[in-house]
Amino acid sequence: MKETTKKTTSLSAIAAGTITLGGELTVNRLGFGAMRLTGDGIWGPPKDPATAIAVLRRAVELGVNFIDTADSYGPNVSEELIAEALAPYPSDLVIATKGGWNRPGPNQWTHDASPAHLREALEGSLKRLRLDRIDVYQLHAPDPVVPLDASIETVANLQSEGKIRLVALSNVTIEHIERARKIVPIVSVQNRYSFADREWDHVVDYCERNGIAFIPWFPLGPGRVAGKLLERIANARHVKPIQIALAWLLKRSPVMLPIPGTSSIAHLEENIRAASLQLSESEYLDLTGITELAS
For residues 26 and 19, the answer to whether their CB atoms sit within 8 Å is: yes
For residues 16 and 272, the answer to whether their CB atoms sit within 8 Å is: no
Q: How far apart are CA 215 and CA 34, in angstroms?
A: 13
Active-site entry in 73, 89, 193, 284: 73
Q: Point out which residues pair with 7 in neighbouring strands.
A: none
Q: Spell out where 31-116 has E strands.
A: 32-33, 66-68, 94-99, 101-102, 110-111
Provide the 3-class DSSP secondary structure of residue 278: coil
How big is the chain, counted in residues? 295
The answer to whether 73 is a known catalytic residue is yes
Query: Shortest CA distance to 214 belongs to which of 172, 247, 152, 273?
Result: 172
Residue 49 amino acid letter: P
Residue 192 amino acid letter: R
Query: Shortest CA distance to 227 belongs to which of 252, 239, 244?
Result: 244
Active site residues: 73
